[in-house]
Amino acid sequence: MSDSRREEEPPTQEVFSPASAQPASAAPWQSLSPGQTLAGRYTVLEQLGQGGMGVVFAAYDVRLDRRVALKLLQPARTSRPEDQARLAREAQAMARLSHPNVVHVYDAGTLENGHLFIAMEYVEGQTLKAWCQQSARSWREILEAYLAAGRGLDAAHRAGIVHRDFKPDNVLIGHDGRVRVMDFGLARAEPSMQTSASQPEHLPPSAWEQALTVPGTVMGTLRYMAPELIADKPADTRSDLFSFCVSLYEALFRQAPYDNASLQARTEAMAEGRLLMPSSSEVPGWVLRPLLQGLQVAPERRPASMQALVAALEADPAERRRSRLRTGGLALLAAVATGLAVAGGMRWQEQGCAGLERRLDGVWDEPVRARVRTALLSAQLPYAQDTYERVAQALDRYTGTWVRLRTEACEAGRAQAGQPRGLAVLQEYCLERRRSQVRALTELLSQGPDKELVPKAVQAVQALAPLEYCTEARALLAAVPPPEEPTVRARAEALQEQVDRLEALYAAGKFKEGLSLADPLLKETAQVGHAPLHARTLFEAARLREGSGDYSGSEALSRQAIALAAQGKDDVLEARAWSQLVTVVGTRLARHQEALALELSLEAAVSRADDDVVRSSWLNTWGSLLLHAGKPEQAQLHYERALALRMKILGPMHPEVAAVVNNLGLALQAQAESEQARAHFERALAIREKALGATHPMVANVLNNLGSVLKNMGQLAQSRTYYERALALQEQTLGPNHPMVANSLNNLGLVLLDLTQYPEAQEHFERALAIRQQLLGPEHPDVSSALNNLGISLQRRGQLDRAREHFERAIELDRKVLAPEHFKQGFSLYNLGTLLLEQGQYAQARVLLERAASVWQKALGPEHPDSADALCALGRTLVGQRQLEPARRHLERSLAILEKTQGQTHSRLVLPLLGLGELLLARGQPAQAVAQLERALALCSMMDVRAEVQLTLAQALLASGLERHRAVELATGARDYYQRIGNPSGLARASRWLQAHASP
């Protein structure tokens, strides 16, 4: 079917009231004048407006003595049966409905001249679109109006009617305030529904059921149209649901949910699920969530019905909480408040509210400040003074706010003397919990000297829970109260301070120290019998185990924390524990499919928590999982939403904002959007330099990412500069023997490989390997990575036997320390397989490459770029074995995946193009091989691969009788390269070919 759909045009308004009428311009109606009678009963009063299919008049119904809106089909179109049937369908659809939120239809029929008409309720008012634009409406006002329209639409669906053109111009708000859906001109009954409505004269009975989409076009308003309708698929109630969500989204956020630059842009955005998330809004998450579900491209992923959507949009968590309090929660709150007033040291009755800053004695006062300064500076790191100043400033701000809020809460409590104190007591309790967390952190910062603590001190302070939560009624009412029984409460409070210390140790990277405290604490909190406290201890212990590399232990503790948090009704903690489980299972253990299956459970927990901090963490976590699973486009959407939330909560220059900006850069880099990725990395760098200082070691992480993206862009000299800056900064701040230093050494070694500086690259890899073996132990997974990189450098220098030894060591290590299907297993298998391919040992290479392909396809998915690389190497091996047909399938599949995921011009395409060139040569098709190899040469940036492409292209040119002189030049260039770097096997191959073919 040809696609002649046009770009979106402004929707044509059809209105039934003078307040929103458009002047009619249809010449055929000029003969109608006020006073003229139609159908023997309708006296024309005035023309109201004109729509795409007809003109609307105000008329007087002399039979029933009332004013009506009369819609007539344009005469020029009445000869078209499909238009007549469409108008008849509108009349029948609307006549079947009797609902306060639907414009009522009174009559329909045929005029004396054969034209069709509909008589309907006359509404004094304006369209929903005009109402929204008339003045600054709150999100609640807009939502209430749309909910009324949704109820009308739901009534239509229950009658078996699909509107097909829902939009704010097709909804009226009368002067009486009632909302009514109108203009069912494109509606049709669902095929499964039967109708008993009478048919207008002269229309066949089948007119109601006919699909009247004109071939090559779509009926309706493209701006609000569901993607299945644009694709000429049948409409159903979920199509209306999509249009409703587009309309409400635009009204709430003042922007379209998808790119509306053109029909093509919108279609592509919908197909890829690229929503334009609002940068900031007062609209709460419980409203946005069902809206986003309704905007899903796949109809089956939308809410099951309009009724379900309306129910979700009405489900205000704050109202539910207020309802629970009204029906009995106040008594519990009063009882808890009585206990809190004593247990939390809140003796405002006796002491008054002045001088509450004294509650910070020993928490953050001058003696504590001095101890923290001494501890940080005694580490003798070049940035220690800057770190101390940032820590002190942040704690001054935090504790200053604490004193102010604590005083306000105390005074509010005094004002409620003799009454249930409710929220004031909950606020005081919340603030006392924050004070305990500050104490745990400052006690940790006072210990020194500690070179490992200093780099994380600023982030640890900035990770303190926001004090603003202690001022929000919604958050306070949602928080889990302490135990009511005084003895249990006192025991829980004492242990809570130790759990706060676990949190501080995690934020400071003190994983082993934290675990030594966590293990006995788990037993103690279990004995208390307060599920929320035990759940939090499990959660903190799970994070500490992840930090120490015990991923299986972290997984087990996370699952226990989820169960206990649910039991204790701590929604926020349950959602955080789900995020922790997804991180460990999906990112650390690389069980991507298993982690992806947890989506609904995690999303439901986040929804129950209804907390922006939790939601931003979930979005960031899920984005990282999607990125690791080879779904960078979806990861990008999650990172963008996380970024919007974090900027709203923390401001634009917070380190946690930089973390998401950095992750967003990684997602863009994975999509070969190198310029955009670079811009995000530069933004993350600016934030970290301002928030942490230019000499902070965390700055080096972003420098490494900038080096990586520039390397991908082929800007190797600039890439090297960034890598060298990162390495120098880490050596200066962390010392020469640190795991992060080893990471930078590996990165710098990789760009040196691309620059063909193989001896220098080898030195960097050897140093990285030594650091990792010394600090992490000989059987750590990161040792395998260093072995692989060192093997690659040896392979590039032609030292194939030594390279093979390193790859075999890496494979053996992977078997010991990684799960059988862990994606990292694939790298060692792939590296050894390609080395054997280079040596012509095709049978052994094939076994290894088939295993690598299997591992990557299971762990990363069949369309991940790494899976494509394995298929490419396997295809080239099959060419060597002369199994050309399966080789062709593997190579073409590899190329298709890489073109889809990396774009048409990425250097990663070079190897499958080279493989296809080798295949075509083996088939005796040298001319076709030349085309593939020329493309490979144009894309190639790595010199070692370029030499191989040059030599293969020389063979193809000579075999096809083309450009013999150029063929010799290409082979000579490859020979000179191999000779310069000292690669004996490559030099031998190029020299043999030149000896055989260089002479005429």
Cite the active site residues: 165
Whole-number Å distance between alpha carbons of 21 and 71: 13
Backbone angles phi, psi at 905, to 5 degrees: -120, 20
| Cβ count within 10 A of residue 331 | 10
Is residue 310 within 8 Å of residue 181, measured between CB atoms? Answer: no
Buried b (16+ CB within 10 A) or exposed e, 108-121: bebbeeebbbbbbb
Whole-number Å distance between alpha carbons of 649 and 840: 59
Pairing mode, strands 105-110 and 161-162: unpaired
Whole-number Å distance between alpha carbons of 473 and 788: 55
C-alpha dist (Å) from residue 775 to 738, 740, 743: 8, 11, 13
Strand extents, DSSP E, 459-517: none
| Strands across the sheet containing 125-127 | 125-127, 171-174, 179-181
Which helix (H) or strand (E) segment is 530 a member of?
A: none
C-alpha dist (Å) from residue 141 to 144, 148, 248, 251: 5, 11, 12, 11
Whole-number Å distance between alpha carbons of 440 and 434: 10
Whole-number Å distance between alpha carbons of 766 and 749: 10
Q: DSSP string covering 895-948, please?
A: HHHHHHHH-TT-GGGHHHHHHHHHHHHHTT-HHHHHHHHHHHHHH---HHHHHH
Is residue 440 within 8 Å of residue 497, measured between CB atoms? Answer: yes
Name the burial class of residue 130, with classes exposed (0-12), middle (13-18) and buried (19+) by CB atoms within 10 angstroms of its CB.
middle
Is residue 625 within 8 Å of residue 617, measured between CB atoms? Answer: no
Name the burial class of residue 328, with classes exposed (0-12), middle (13-18) and buried (19+) by CB atoms within 10 angstroms of its CB.
exposed
C-alpha dist (Å) from residue 908 to 59, 110, 685, 938, 978: 70, 67, 27, 12, 22
Whole-number Å distance between alpha carbons of 518 and 538: 8
Q: DSSP string covering 60-129, please?
A: EETTTTEEEEEEEE-GGGTT-HHHHHHHHHHHHHHHT---TTBPPEEEEEE-TTS-EEEEEE---EEEHH
Residue position matching structure tokens 């929503």: 275
Whole-number Å distance between alpha carbons of 54 and 59: 15
C-alpha dist (Å) from residue 49 to 46, 70, 94: 9, 11, 20
Name the burial class of residue 929, with classes exposed (0-12), middle (13-18) and buried (19+) by CB atoms within 10 angstroms of its CB.
buried
Measured in whole angstroms, the distance separating CA 538 from the mean position of its chain's CA atoms is: 28
Is residue 679 within 8 Å of residue 703, measured between CB atoms? Answer: no
Gyration radius of the chain's alpha carbons: 35
- Secondary structure letter of residue 43 according to DSSP: E
Nearest of 485, 486, 489, 520 to residue 502 by alpha carbon: 520
Q: DSSP string covering 145-209, please?
A: HHHHHHHHHHHHHHTTEE-S---GGGEEEETTS-EEE---TT-EE-TT----PPPPTT--GGGGG
Residues 6+ apart with CB under 8 A from 806: 787, 788, 790, 791, 794
- Secondary structure letter of residue 767 according to DSSP: H
